[in-house]
């Protein structure tokens, strides 16, 4: 059976879509559970056995689960709040269609092939990105993951329905990993290519910044008497923007919480998250250091306090250059390019030769409702993935 990309995409496109056209697909939320059911149905249609790894990750197997030389492909279902629909699901839909295409070519893999759906890649619900692949690889302990709580205080274990099991010994049997993903940027547009191969993932991380001061009445407190943490926070956001531009890096503050969050009260506490990324670790370290220094200096002037904690930091990922070159050549000499976005493939790259395929994104927009890839380019991506998976499971 081989569906077309458009037909299969139409099956999941409505799941978790919000009125604004974006997607709300938090880990284990109703839409993401519906996507898991869809995953199981796709596997059943193709007579692929489904296993779960005890960490929230799903695997559909063509061949014996975790057998010698296993090749992993796939991506994630979860989204950032009101994000795009392609970031993640495109890699899973493409993987099922690549299995169809390989079968249509008469390919019988010599090594097991799994389509994977990794949980909580965005970290949108429990705050740690790539949580599922970090558990699978041992990059985070089951105990630490189990205790993570969402905004309603629900623990990861409660959402999973059990404590996560953590690292799988079977990971040692994996011979290669390939994740197909919509490009989050316009590099492929710039070179007019529908598909590319990843060379590296920028080092990046997220830092929680807590600003504290004196809560007070908005109407009766003189400006000179205030110790307003919102002022120090606002200054820090401006400083992060300036420092990132100077460093040729990226700094974003997209999430903020204020207490008591009342229009007519000077806040006592403001919590904001810094997402910082740079082409190399030294630049990233200097950027974060500069932002923290600017925040502390400003807090001294405002009579407030600031505390900055790293919540998750991902070192630079340099994908296997031989594998990237081999696959780019196999695909007719497609571009090889870095990305500033994190991926499960980045976490897995420390455990097996790993590659990523990017599909052209005409606007480059991601993590927003406008994220889109044309069906024709997505179909080209499926064919490329089938060719890559045939190479990795048969050669």
Q: Does 341 bind ligand HGY (CB under 6 A)?
A: yes
Q: 78 and 119 in contact (C-beta within 8 Å)? A: yes
250 marked as part of a ligand binding site: no
Q: Does 122 bind ligand HGY (CB under 6 A)?
A: yes
Q: Does 101 bind ligand HGY (CB under 6 A)?
A: no
Site mask, ligand HGY, residues 202-241, x = CB under 6 A?
Answer: ----------------------------------------
Q: Binding residue for Mn ion (CB under 5 A) from 22, 84, 85, 88?
A: 88
Expressed in angstroms, the distance from the first to the final Cα of the chain is 25
285 marked as part of a ligand binding site: no
76 marked as part of a ligand binding site: yes
Q: Does 342 bind ligand HGY (CB under 6 A)?
A: yes
CA 40 to CA 51: how far, in whole Å?
10
Q: 250 and 244 in contact (C-beta within 8 Å)? A: yes
Q: 333 and 195 in contact (C-beta within 8 Å)? A: no
The nearest distance, CB 380 to Mn ion, in angstroms, is: 19
CA 390 to CA 111: how far, in whole Å?
10
The nearest distance, CB 87 to Mn ion, in angstroms, is: 4
Is residue 75 classed as helix, strand or coil in its secondary structure?
Answer: strand
> How many residues in the shown chain lie near ligand HGY by CB under 6 A?
6
Q: Binding residue for ligand HGY (CB under 6 A) from 31, 127, 129, 229?
A: 129
Q: Which residues lie closer than 8 Å to 237 by C-beta, 6 or more apart?
A: 253, 272
CA 140 to CA 144: how far, in whole Å?
7
CA 24 to CA 19: how far, in whole Å?
10
> Which entry of ligand HGY, Mn ion, none binds 342, CB below 5 to 8 A by partner kind?
ligand HGY
From the centroid of its chain, how far is CA 42? 23
CA 76 to CA 318: how far, in whole Å?
21
Question: Which segment (56-64, 88-96, 123-131, 306-314) binds Mn ion by CB under 5 A?
Answer: 88-96
Residue located via tokens 């193709």: 46
Residue number with CB closer to ligand HGY (120 or 302): 120
The nearest distance, CB 364 to Mn ion, in angstroms, is: 14
Q: Does 179 bind ligand HGY (CB under 6 A)?
A: no
The 10 Å CB-count burial string (b at 16+, else e) for 118-133 is: bbbbbbbbbbbbbbbb
Q: Does 342 bind Mn ion (CB under 5 A)?
A: no
- 137-146 contacts at long range (C-beta below 8 A, 24 or more positions apart): 137/167, 137/171, 137/347, 137/348, 137/350, 137/351, 138/166, 138/167, 139/347, 139/350, 141/166, 142/55, 142/166, 145/55
The CA angle 157-160-163, to the nearest 5 degrees, is: 40
> Which entry of ligand HGY, Mn ion, none binds 88, CB below 5 to 8 A by partner kind?
Mn ion
> Which entry of ligand HGY, Mn ion, none binds 78, CB below 5 to 8 A by partner kind?
none
Residue number with CB closer to ligand HGY (227 or 250): 250
Question: Which segment (101-109, 121-129, 135-143, 220-228) binds ligand HGY by CB under 6 A?
Answer: 121-129
Q: Does 89 bind ligand HGY (CB under 6 A)?
A: no
Q: Does 121 bind ligand HGY (CB under 6 A)?
A: yes
The nearest distance, CB 73 to ligand HGY, in angstroms, is: 18
Q: Binding residue for Mn ion (CB under 5 A) from 87, 101, 150, 243?
A: 87
Q: Does 32 bind Mn ion (CB under 5 A)?
A: no
210 marked as part of a ligand binding site: no
> Which entry of Mn ion, ligand HGY, none binds 150, CB below 5 to 8 A by partner kind?
none
87 marked as part of a ligand binding site: yes
CA 326 to CA 332: how far, in whole Å?
10
Q: Which residues of this chain interact with ligand HGY, rule CB under 6 A?
A: 87, 121-122, 129, 341-342
């Amino acid at each position: 059976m081989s569906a077309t990309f458009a037909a299969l995409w139409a099956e999941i496109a409505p799941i978790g879509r919000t009125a604004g056209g974006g997607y709300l697909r938090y880990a284990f939320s109703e839409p993401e559970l519906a996507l898991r059911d869809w995953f199981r149905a796709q596997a059943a249609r193709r007579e692929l056995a489904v296993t779960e790894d005890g960490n929230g990750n799903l695997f559909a197997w063509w061949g014996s689960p975790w057998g010698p030389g296993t090749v992993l492909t796939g991506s994630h279902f979860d989204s950032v709040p009101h994000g795009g629909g392609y970031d993640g699901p495109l890699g899973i839909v493409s993987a099922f269609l690549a299995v169809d295409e390989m079968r249509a070519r008469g390919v019988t893999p010599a090594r097991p092939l799994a389509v994977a759906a990794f949980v909580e890649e965005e970290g949108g619900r429990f705050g740690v990105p790539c949580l599922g692949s970090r558990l699978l690889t041992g990059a985070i302990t089951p105990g630490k993951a189990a205790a993570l709580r969402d905004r309603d205080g629900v623990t990861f274990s409660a959402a999973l329905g059990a404590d996560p099991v953590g690292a799988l010994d079977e990971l040692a049997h994996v011979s290669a990993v390939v994740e197909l993903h919509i490009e989050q940027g316009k590099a492929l547009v710039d070179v007019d290519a529908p598909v590319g191969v990843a060379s590296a993932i920028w080092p990046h991380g997220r830092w929680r910044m807590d600003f504290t001061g004196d809560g007070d009445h908005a109407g009766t407190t003189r400006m000179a008497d205030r110790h307003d943490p919102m002022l120090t926070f606002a200054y820090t956001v401006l400083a992060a923007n300036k420092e990132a531009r100077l460093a040729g890096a990226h700094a974003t503050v997209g999430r903020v919480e204020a207490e008591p969050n009342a229009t007519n009260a000077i806040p006592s506490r403001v919590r904001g998250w810094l997402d910082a990324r740079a082409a190399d670790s030294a630049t990233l370290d200097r950027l974060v250091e500069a932002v923290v220094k600017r925040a502390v200096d400003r807090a001294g002037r405002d009579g407030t306090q600031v505390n900055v904690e790293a919540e998750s930091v991902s070192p630079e990922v340099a994908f296997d250059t031989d594998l990237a070159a081999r696959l780019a050549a196999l695909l007719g000499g497609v571009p090889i390019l870095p990305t500033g976005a994190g991926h499960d493939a980045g976490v897995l790259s420390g455990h097996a030769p790993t590659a990523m395929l990017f599909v052209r994104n005409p606007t480059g927009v991601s993590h927003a409702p406008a994220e889109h890839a044309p069906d024709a380019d997505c179909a080209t991506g499926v064919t490329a993935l089938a060719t890559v998976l045939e190479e990795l499971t048969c050669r």
